[in-house]
A and B are shown apart, each in its own frame.
Chain A
Amino acid sequence: MPAEDPLLSVREVTVHFGGVTALSRVDLEVNRGTITGLIGPNGAGKTTLFNVITGLVTPRSGRVRFDGTDITGWPRHRRGRAGIARTFQRLELFGGLTVHDNLLAAWEASVPGAVLGMRRGEGRRVVDEVIEKLGLGELAGRVAGQLSTGQGRLVELGRALAARPRILLLDEPSSGLDQAETEHFRDLLLGAVGRESGEPAVLLVEHDVALVMEICDRITVLDFGQRIAEGLPAEVRSDPRVVAAYLGDSDAA
């Protein structure tokens, strides 16, 4: 797999916030049809890296390539239309719209001309499919601003899927979910990734290390804005630097 041209590649990205270095020459690849995990302690720079990929943060140096195209300087709406969809750790739902309309709005935003009413039938079909797949039927008519966090996370996933992504970026999707909801979520995620077609691929930021080890094909570990490990789950698990970062063992570093 690594020999193949990755769908998304981040090369030597550096981000400064004032005097703080949030990311320092970080590399990351996401291959087609796979789930890549991105883990690290709090403040490691995971969300910042997401923000670089989706264009919310401009890196000081480094490049982001998507399907072979350099997208580093693209405005964020152009990235969205190119097929990069994400969820947010702090929910960013369209609170005044119904769940159904949240999904439809995301589809419309990603399809050129849809805002003028073109391809309307297609949009409704895609939305109905996603609602069916995620079991959102009961929530479809509810206003998104009144949902619980768990429901909100599910709607965020549905909204990202409705945008018909080529890559799906999930930021802490299981935080705030209970055990049963997390298991449900895992099944949905495994069903969402395009194993055969190669799209969508998934990049997953997650605190639940057990979940990450279970479902990810490859894992990248960040600590203090640096990539400290990359590899198969088993390799990462036994990496002494990763153990040190999570347990705070000063000898291993």
Chain B
Amino acid sequence: MSGLWPFLVIGLFSGSIYALASMGIVLTYKTSGVFNFAYGGIAMFCGFTFWQLRDGWHISSWLSLPLLLLVVAPVMGLAAEYLFRAVITLSAEIQIVIALAVLAFLQALVPIFYGGSERSLNSIFPTSTFRLGSSLHVSWTQLFTLLLAVAAALALSGLLSRTRLGLATRAVVDNRDLAELNGVSSDGVSRLAWVISTVFAALAGVLLSSTVGLDTYSLVLFFIYAFAPAVLAKLVNLPAAFGWALGLGVLQSVLQKYGSSGNVADFESALPYLALFGALVFYGNALKEIRSSFRTITVSAPNRDPRRFAGSVAAVVIGLAILPLLIHGSALGDVSTALIYAAIALTLVVLTGWAGQISLAQFSFVGIGAFTAGHLAGAGGKGFLWAAVVGALIAVPFGIAVGLPSLRLSGLFLALATMAFALIMDTLVFPRNWVSGGYTGTTVARPDIFGIRFTGTLSFYWLSAILLGAYALGASLLNRGPVGRRLQMMRDAPLGASTFGVNLTLTKLAVFAGCGAAAAFAGAFYGAMRLTVDPNDFAFGASLELLLLVVLGGRALVPGGMVAGGIYLMQLLPLSSTVESYIPLGVAVGAVALAQYPEGPTTRSAEYMRYFSALFRRRPLRELTDGRLVPIVFSSRRRITSEPAEVADAR
């Protein structure tokens, strides 16, 4: 037993940090209904800010820490509250994407502000140790961190249970509208909650980065661990979040005693994700999305004009045919990668845009396809097509596994479940040597299909273009046919769809499996383009980026998928490093702008195009503006939203 004590101490330390973070996440969720995916980003940014204040500008700890906790963090909290209040009534995938954009924004901002993305930060507490009992060494940092977490929890519960402000908060949590009617400012309450939550994030960020180091990527990932206790507390119960967080930290640490490498270690790092996935599936219907009111976005009817369809197909084909005349070499290779990326994006257009099922695990399927192709395709690319098909078949059961939570969950909670799935794949499946060849990776041969070898850059470019063409055509046909209608029925009104005879269980599992298989098939080509793939290529972050780009491009349209590929291409092209560092920033700002134009720029530009081309054809204006989407400049309607029934009735 005595051997366990040191691990218990370490576990309580990391558990305390999880506790701060999960309480922060629960607090904003229960008061404003926003699940803060960007929590780790805020903590990370605060960590860097503290480094700059104390180690960069040599401001004493006694001044820089209060500056961080009382000025910087509250300002960030207020800014975040302002941003998220605008999106709370939008659909879940837009909320998530905007939170992810904030995360990406902060990640992109750090190197620009602080001139680097890695720092080492010393603890704010003394790292010297004292002895407890005969042999147990505890550092002051560990002790103070635990005390700090306990103090924060007690202060928060005191605030909620003893003060008028706490009473107002509880009223808002209970029923926002009713609280407003009784004179409680729910905006004030949610501002306060965001400030407290951000201060917790800052504390957790500073404490954590002194032990695991300060960088823009892994620190953020570490905070995902805190999602599990928050969900285990059903996102409302603060004391439960505290308890689960400490429990998780201790359990992880104790597992470390039994193995610092191999299966136990993998299981230890996957534990929070398994807990998250399990909690979501287990609680299922008990989890409630908190929203004050619903604003649905209606997309305009897709244009069914066959001439326009033929025209846009011709334009794309001609464009792709001319491109190799203009660019060569590695730039053409980058374009090929982007074409395959667009094909992958189209699978997410079908899954999220049409079927309404959010997935943060789509790149895991790409990985399945790529690794399968690496193992099965012969050295000269013989049998590549078969390998891709086998990869797609292997993806089917995985697709069903991701789809299972969707039977009970939707929106935010489905996103969290798919995220947990992707992270489980990252920690338990992809690192295996027999899957991926470990971190040295797997080589994937360029394909040899029906005796034609696609080894060179140009020939592979043609192959990528054909792949994207097939996917785009397939998606277009699907959207026009009965299957597309069925998916959109399920997205728009699941209750209505099921009473008319749609088997939701079957449809959801089929669409997850189908889109997973399609992503895996494209994944084989993605692997062949890269020549060597390793688990990092398909890490959770890639799935996040895919969802971000697809929503940004326009998630309900085939051209939206292509725009996603286009944005991806911008990141690949060899540009100057200054420009490169600003692209993620641009993407992030674009995604934040979604709060204003939630239909996505592609939808909007499609509307503009339709409007102008109709003008050109001299149709009567009345026909154009009658109830359809029109560009804002021509319309008194600012937003394209469905109005509440009362407003429509009043007209």
Binding site for B on A (CB under 8 A): 54-56, 75-81, 84-86, 88, 91-98, 101, 104-106, 108-110, 114-117, 120, 141-143, 145-149, 159, 163, 176
Binary per-residue interface labels of chain B (562-594) against chain A in the complex, 1 for a CB within 8 Å, 0 otherwise = 000000000000000000000000000000000
Q: Besides the contacts A80-B501, A96-B492, what 17 more A-B pairs have beta carbons closer than 8 Å?
A: A86-B499, A92-B495, A94-B488, A94-B489, A95-B492, A96-B298, A96-B556, A97-B301, A97-B488, A98-B301, A108-B486, A109-B489, A109-B500, A115-B482, A145-B296, A149-B645, A149-B648
Q: Which of B595-651 contact A (CB under 8 A)?
A: 627-628, 642, 645, 648-649, 651
B499, A93: Cβ atoms closer than 8 Å: no
- The 3 A-B residue pairs with the shortest CB-CB distance, nearest first, are A145-B298, A92-B496, A80-B501
Contact A94 B299 (CB under 8 A): no
Interface size of B in residues (CB-CB distance below 8 Å): 33
Complex Cα distance, B651 from A21, in Å, reads 38
Per-position binary interface string of chain B over residues 490-511, scored 1 when its CB falls under 8 Å from any chain A CB and 0 otherwise: 0111011111111110000000
Q: In the assembled complex, how far is the CB of residue A203 from the closest CB belonging to chain B, in whole angstroms?
A: 14
A146 touches B298 (CB 8 A): yes
- Tell me the bound Cα distance from A79 to B502 in angstroms: 10
Name the CB-closest residue of B to A80.
B501
Contact assessment for B486 and A105 in the assembled complex, using a CB-CB cutoff below 8 Å? yes
Residues of B within 8 A of A54 (CB): 499
Find out whether the CB atom of B500 lies under 8 angstroms from the CB atom of A85.
yes
A219 to chain B, nearest CB (A): 24
Chain A min CB distance to B639 (Å): 12
Which residues on B sit within 8 Å (CB–CB) of A105? 482, 485-486, 488-489, 497, 500
B496 and A94 contact, CB distance less than 8 A: yes
Query: Out of A117, A142, A176, which one reaches B301, CB within 8 Å?
Result: A142
Known: A96-B491, A115-B486, A148-B648. A143 touches B298 (CB 8 A): yes
Q: Which of B495, B501, B556 is within 8 Å of A56, CB to CB?
A: B495
**CB contact under 8 A between A104 and B501, given known A56-B495, A92-B496:** no
CA distance A104 to B488 in the complex (A): 12
- Tell me the B residues contacting A by CB distance below 8 Å: 296, 298-301, 481-483, 485-486, 488-489, 491-493, 495-504, 556, 627-628, 642, 645, 648-649, 651
A224 to B502, CA, bound (A): 33
Q: Are B299 and A96 in contact (CB under 8 A)?
A: yes
Residue of B298, B485, B651 touching A104 (CB-CB under 8 A): B485
**Alpha-carbon gap, A84 to B502, bound state (A):** 13
Beta-carbon contact of A142 and B627 below 8 Å = yes
CB distance from A170 to the nearest CB of B (A): 13
**Using Cβ atoms and an 8 Å threshold, which residues of chain B touch A143?**
298-301, 628
CA distance A174 to B501 in the complex (A): 25
Q: How far is the CA of A94 from the CA of B485 in the complex (A)?
A: 9
Jot down 16 A-B pairs with beta carbons below 8 A, ordered by A.
A76-B498, A77-B502, A80-B498, A88-B495, A94-B496, A95-B642, A96-B298, A108-B485, A108-B486, A109-B497, A142-B627, A143-B298, A145-B299, A146-B298, A146-B628, A146-B642
Alpha-carbon gap, A115 to B120, bound state (A): 58
* Chain B residue nearest to A108 in the complex (CB): B482
Which residue of B has the minimal Cβ distance to A107?
B500
Most chain A beta-carbon contacts within 10 A, residue among B488, B504, B651: B488
A114 proximity list for chain B (CB < 8 A): 482
Query: Bound state CA distance, A56 and B499, in angstroms?
Result: 8
